[in-house]
Structure 1
Amino acid sequence: MPHFEEFYANKLLGSLGVVDAEAVLDLRNATREQAAASMQDMLERSRFGQRKAVAIRLTPPPEGGGETLFQPVGKALLEAKKRGWIERLQTLPAQDGLGFYVVLSGKPERPDEPSAA
């Protein structure tokens, strides 16, 4: 859409979800420790690989409420975004359940390397 900034065009097109991602990190039924280790592994690996879109799926809260991994995973993703490891961060659309859609920045191109475009 040439007349809209990318942010607003994406708002009009709707949220990106699991079907739009290149990979899925399924943290449903993971413990807090397992989730933290998986997140750290994904973020560390992303720094040396290609740019990639990942859907991160989480278990919804139990009936009547309760703790989920949404907050700790979200905090880790925000920290990674501040470091420049994540280009895009948003929640998954309702039909995909609880989770996040992220675009990992990948390995930064060095000025002396030809682009892959």
Structure 2
Amino acid sequence: MPHFEDFYADKLRGSLGVTDAESVLDLRGTNRPTSEASLNDMLERSRFGKGKTVAIRFDPPPEGGGETLFQPVGRLLLDAKRKGIVDRLQTLPAGDGLGFYVALAGKTTRSNE
């Protein structure tokens, strides 16, 4: 869409989901420490490669309510966004389940720290 800035063009296209991502980090069925370790590993490795998009998926709340990985994973991703490791962060569309769509900055687009 040549007449729109990327931000507004993406709004018109709708939410980006699992099928739009270059890869998927599937944390369904994992516990919190394992999920956090996997996410931290992905974020650390992304600092040395090219930028890419990742769909991060995790389990919905158990029947009757309970904790999910939404808040702890969200906090880690927001911190990574503040540090410049993550360029874009949004929730997955409802049809894709619970998770995030993340655009990792990669080595080439980040400034030297």
The TM tier, using the shorter chain, reads over 0.9
2:99 maps to 99
How many pairs were matched up?
111
More strand by share: 2
Q: How does 1:1-117 map to 2 (within 5 A)?
A: 1-108=1-108
Q: Match of 1:48, SS?
A: coil
**Cα deviation code 1:46-96 (max 9, x no counterpart):** 000111100000100112211000000000000000000011100001110
Normalising by structure 2, we get a TM-score of 0.92
Give SS of 1:105's match.
Answer: strand
RMSD value, Cα: 1.6
Identity of aligned residues (%): 70
Structure 1: how far apart are the matches of 2:61 and 2:90?
Answer: 19
In structure 2, C-alpha distance between the alignment counterparts of 1:22 and 1:110, rounded to whole Å: 19
Q: What is residue 115 of structure 1 aligned with on the other side?
A: none
1:7 CA displacement: 1.5
Structure 2 CA distance for partners of 1:109 and 1:90, relative to 1, 3 Å: closer
3-state SS, counterpart of residue 75 of structure 2:
helix
Distance 2:81 2:4 in 1: 24
Query: Structure 1: which 4+ aligned runs deviate by more than 4 Å?
Result: none
Gaps of 5+ in 2: none
1:2 Cα deviation from its structure 2 partner: 2.5
Partner SS, residue 79 of structure 1: helix
Letter in 1 for 2:82: K
Q: Give the drift of 1:4.
A: 2.2
Task: Tell me by how many angstroms 1:100 deviates.
Answer: 0.2
